[in-house]
Structure 1
Amino acid sequence: MFPRSIRRAAIAAALSLTLSVPLSAPASAADRGPGAPGIGDVYFPDYGNGGYDVKHYGLKLDYQPGTDRLEGQATLLATASQTLTRFNLDFLLDVQRVEVNGRPAAFARTGVHELEITPARALPRFLPFVVEVTYAGTPSSIEVPGIVRPWIKRADGALALGEPEIAWWWYPSNDHPADKATFDITVTVPEGKQAISNGVLASQRTSRGRTTFHWLMDKPMATYLAMLYIGDIEVHRARSSTGLPVTTAYDKTLGARLEFAKASVERTAEIVDWESSVFGRYPFSSMGGSVVNENVGFALETQSHPVYDSIFFESGPDVSVVVHENAHQWFGDSVALKQWRDIWLNEGFATYAEWLWSEKEGTGTAAELANAIYNDIPADHPRFWLRVPGDPTPPFLFYASVYWRGGMTLQALRGEVGDQDFFAIIKAWAKIKQHGNGNTDEFISLSEKISGEQLDALFQTWLFQPGKPANPPAAVTAQVKAQTGPPASYESHKRLHELLHGPA
């Protein structure tokens, strides 16, 4: 949440700029009107909103375990991209009051998740404005048809975790990766409970039986990457080799899985150090991870602090999932999507990071793993080869092809351009797009610019052409030894991906 003095200053600045717009230069008719109720995503047309860009979210939350009562005040600092007579936020809880630039604003619920706001005065194009939304409700009671409820009420607290939908259940937002913002999250819970969120823990204080945690995410973050984990949690705090704070947290009910979870997640700083050597400098000011005992069935790369279902540690340590989710800190978090159909840029890259880790550990090269998967899945598989990763469609957004064939695409690229250019491409993508957004066409263009090769055919074959490609992603050379079976790490990688998104 903005400190009160900063919030007042932001409102005063927005009002001052609004009042200083010359009356002799009104906006054109085409530039004046309501913002669109969607940001323009081809898969999810009503996700996000048009007409403005959020720069910062300040969230002040009060949560009561047991009743699952959440009370909040969200302060959004945004800039209008047109003269706005009305605009939308994505939100589901009951709203009590809305102010825009310090003045009461009219609001109404439209559609499934749209909060429509009409400010007292039109908001001038290119100028900042401040929105304050006061709200309350029981997030776990809200169900949206076709969406698994991502807010989980726990016996001891709550977990907010989901992709692509989660923000609607706990804070109002422009809910699309194309509009990233910094976050300031203050959460008050009963004394003895922990509240984990993204970024750096700026403060923690207890008064009158309530504890307030203040988390700061100082780099732009997509709305679905904001997480909240409240409950009886074992928390560890340390420092990485580069001096960054490392926060790891474990559900106290993990039982036998706790040892395996710690053996994996406590290696986060080590893994991030290695990934930094491959992808470039780590893009955030903190790191860590939480292990939950909620059978959510997935792990998620929530920015700077991934969350893992304990199922990954049911039968032993699983370092690969920690490698996967932390690779997302570069690919998916720092470099976010412009459109959801480009999801392979997130999942293909994180999958390939697992294969590179295996290569480093000597349990199978990336090329061997890519070819093993290629050979293991028959051409007549009823779904896998027909679901192209470059345009998977919404029902198959997190299907195996996006992960595995996305990884194969990167292996095919590596084989075509050679190691020197390949790793130069990966590092350049992470650096050039850092804290921004990218799409497939831009990645192809960068790959061609660095390699000096024309690569349309390669990407067309692996990303967009239905059916099993005629040749494997890696040539059978010295890099890919003739084998009687898959590499040693193949079964563990296959199990990980089955946990992440089911059998191929």
Structure 2
Amino acid sequence: MNRRPLRSCGATAALSVALLLSACTSGTGVKGTDGAGGVGDPLFPALGNGGYDVTHYGLDLDYDMPRAHLDATAEITAKAKKDLRSFKLDLQGLKVSGVRVDGKDAAFTRKGHKLTVRPTVGIEKGATFRTTVTYGGTPQEMTDPGGAHEGWVKTRDGAFVAGEPAGAMTWFPGNNHPGDKAAYDFKITVPKRYTAVANGELRSQKTAKGRTTYEWHSGEPMASYLATATIGTFNVSTSRMRDGLPLYVAVDPKEAAESKQALDRLPEIITWERGLFGKYPFSSAGAIVDNTPGRIDWGALESQTKPVYAGAADTETVVHEMAHHWFGNSVTPKTWKDTWLNEGFATYAEWLWEEHEGGKTPQQQFDAFFEDDEENDRWDFPPGDPGTAENVTETPVYERGAMVLQQLRKAVGDKTFFEILKEWPAKYRHSNADSKDFIAFCQARTDEDLTDLFDDWLYGKGKPDWEY
């Protein structure tokens, strides 16, 4: 995500009050245990669910534009991590009309954003099982106390769909935590004059009886917050880079003129970032630029393969969001506490781009922040320990996160640092990692003791009183 406003908008996304609710289950007589309603995330303890790992989501969505009504089916393929007599899925709002597990009707209950499923037959540890949820209604976006919106947000001509950190559960049931990544297939049906854009590659587009169905396939593992199904009237362009990487760009006509300069440079940006970060980790790339309601008060989200922009973005924002494909999308934090591994790297990519464009060097940008004596929120909390859910997308995670990387660069030297920029996303490609993993990874590549650096710059309170 990019905190910098598009035009006059600021970036933030936080958890709604509903996440404070938790779910409970009762015994069914079926052998096994009840899957937990949470994975123990230090900032979002009610997000995610225990007892299973999802491997694939099949989402069939039919959206009635005039009524803003969604009729949907989700088929969720998962592997049991323990013997289960029940398990939970995250789903906020919407009405569930039926649940089946491996083709058999299952009992279910709702409490808060938890859907508890009780199959008629227990699920054995190690077994792969398929859960089909039929549901519908008018999706309701999520808001934080400050008014930031996420999830399925209705627009003048469709829906702007972005899920960080919790909004995915406003439109499909799942294990809504970055620690459980899966492949996705989307089937989205809309009136024929509209376009439905999701992650991955467009497999088919068929129109019948005035409605068009778009089928998208996203084969690489993806965290739920990175999924999108954005609907609107878009100018669509498709192309390929010289190496064959397909590009799909959808732009609201109202944003086309202001978006053109930045989006024209998308192939150049991808090529430049490949040079720094290594092989692009996905099968396609692109962008979605929507014209959103005034209440959308953040700029962009790094939705996998196609970042979604709440309005026309500048080139630096495109650089930031595309850098997330290495840092955040491919290498995804184990918990939300480690969001700096996403945002610090993406911000540092902006610093490197500015230098590439003939502007300030990363050191000059670091110095400007470090020497700035004006009162600001850069030092409010350490990037490695945000402390509260509300801080996940605040300034220290971005700016001080990037400053940690510049300090690391000075400590280990340019050669080792730029090797880290390539080797880190290569080692953890399509998996999850945390700050401890990163610290160990860096320490193994230098004789310099990095303890004080990370203790003070990543975890220390207030402004550190030293720099390399």
Separation in 1, partners of 2:447, 2:73: 52
Q: SS of 2:237's equivalent?
A: strand
**Residue 389 of structure 1 pairs with residue 383 of structure 2:** yes
For the 8 Å contact 1:199–1:286, the answer to whether it is kept is yes
What is the aligned partner in structure 2 of residue 400 from structure 1?
395
In 2, the alpha carbon distance for the partners of 1:44 and 1:270 equals: 37
User: Cα RMSD (Å) of the superposition?
Assistant: 1.6
Deviation at 1:208, TM superposition (A): 1.4
Give the match for residue 328 of structure 1.
Answer: 324
| 1:144 to partner: Cα distance | 6.8
Higher alpha-carbon Rg: 1
Give the corresponding residue for 1:319. 315
**Residues 389-426 of structure 1, C-alpha deviations (whole Å, 9 max, x = no match):** 11112111111111000000000000010011111112
Q: Secondary structure at the match of 2:379?
A: helix
Assess, with a 3 A threshold, how the Cα gap between structure 1 residues 149 and 284 changes in structure 2: closer, same or farther.
closer
**Distance in 2, Cα, partners of 1:148 & 1:323:** 23
Residue aligning to 1:273: 271
Question: TM-score, normalised to structure 1's length?
Answer: 0.83
Q: Deviations over 1:200-255 (max 9, x none)?
A: 0111111111111011101000001001111111111111122111011111223x
Alpha-carbon separation, structure 2, partners of 1:242 and 1:357: 22
Checking the alignment, whether the CA contact within 8 Å between 1:65 and 1:158 is kept in structure 2 is no
- The partner residue of 1:347 within 330, 343, 348 is 343
Shift of 1:453: 2.6
Give yes or no for contact 1:248–1:266 (8 Å, CA) kept in 2: no
- For the 8 Å contact 1:292–1:307, the answer to whether it is kept is yes
Matches within 5 A, 1:39-50: 39-50=39-50
The match for 2:418 is 423
User: What is the deviation of 1:452?
Assistant: 2.9
Within-5 A mapping of 1:76-115:
76-92=76-92, 93-110=94-111, 112-115=112-115
Q: State the Cα distance separating 1:311 from its structure 2 match.
A: 5.6
SS at the partner of 1:87? Answer: strand
Provide the rounded CA distance (Å) in 1 between the counterparts of 2:221 and 2:376.
40
Q: Which moved more, 1:391-400 or 1:171-180?
A: 391-400
Note the alpha carbon deviations across 1:441-485, whole angstroms, 9 max, x for none. Answer: 00000001012332111011111111212234xx5xxxxxxxxxx
Q: Distance in 2 between matches of 1:73 and 1:218?
A: 19
Other-structure match for 1:413: 408
In structure 2, what is the Cα distance between the partners aligned to 1:349 and 1:149?
A: 23
In the superposition, the TM-score normalised over structure 2's length comes to 0.89
Tell me the distance in 2 between the aligned counterparts of 1:74 and 1:83. Answer: 23
C-alpha distance in structure 2 between counterparts of 1:212 and 1:227, whole Å: 16
Return the letter of the residue paired with 1:199: G
CA contact (8 A) 2:74 2:132 kept: yes
Alpha carbons 1:65, 1:155 under 8 Å: kept: no
State how 1:471-482 maps to structure 2 within 5 Å: 471-472=466-467
Name the structure 2 match of 1:290. Answer: 288
Structure 1 residue ranges without an equivalent (≥5): 1-30, 313-317, 476-504
Residue in 1 that maps onto 2:136: 136
Paired with 2:305 and 2:372, the residues of 1 have a C-alpha distance of 34
Letter in 2 for 1:460: D
Which SS does the other structure have where 1:386 is aligned? coil
Deviation at 1:182, TM superposition (A): 0.3
Which residue number in structure 1 is paired with residue 451 of structure 2?
456
Distance 2:150 2:408 in 1: 38
Shift, 1:68, TM fit = 0.7
In the TM superposition, residue 145 of structure 1 has moved relative to its aligned partner by 7.1
CA distance in 2, matches of 1:274, 1:459: 28
Q: How far apart in 1 are the matches of 2:260 and 2:166? A: 29
Q: Give the corresponding residue for 1:63.
A: 63
SS of aligned partner of 2:272: helix
- Tell me the percent identity: 44
- Name 1:306's counterpart in structure 2: 307
Work out the CA distance in 1 between the residues paired with 2:237 and 2:311.
17
Equivalent residues of 1:106, 1:118 under 8 A apart: yes
Q: Which ranges in structure 2 are unaligned for 5 or more consecutive residues?
A: 1-30
Separation of aligned partners in 1, 2:447 and 2:126 = 39
The corresponding residue for 1:356 is: 352
1:66·1:157 contact (CA, 8 Å) conserved in 2? no
Letter paired with 1:348: G
Residues 150 and 164, structure 2, Cα contact 8 Å, conserved in 1: no
Alignment of 1:144-293 (within 5 A): 146=145, 148-254=149-255, 258-293=256-291
Contact map agreement 1:244 1:286 (CA 8 A) in 2: yes
Structure 1 residue ranges (4+ consecutive) displaced by more than 4 angstroms after TM superposition: 142-147
Q: Distance in 2 between matches of 1:155 and 1:358?
A: 35
Q: Which has the higher helix share?
A: 1
Letter in 2 for 1:115: L
Select the structure with the greater relative contact order (CA < 8 A; seq sep ≥ 6): 2
Deviates more, 1:288-297 or 1:408-417: 288-297
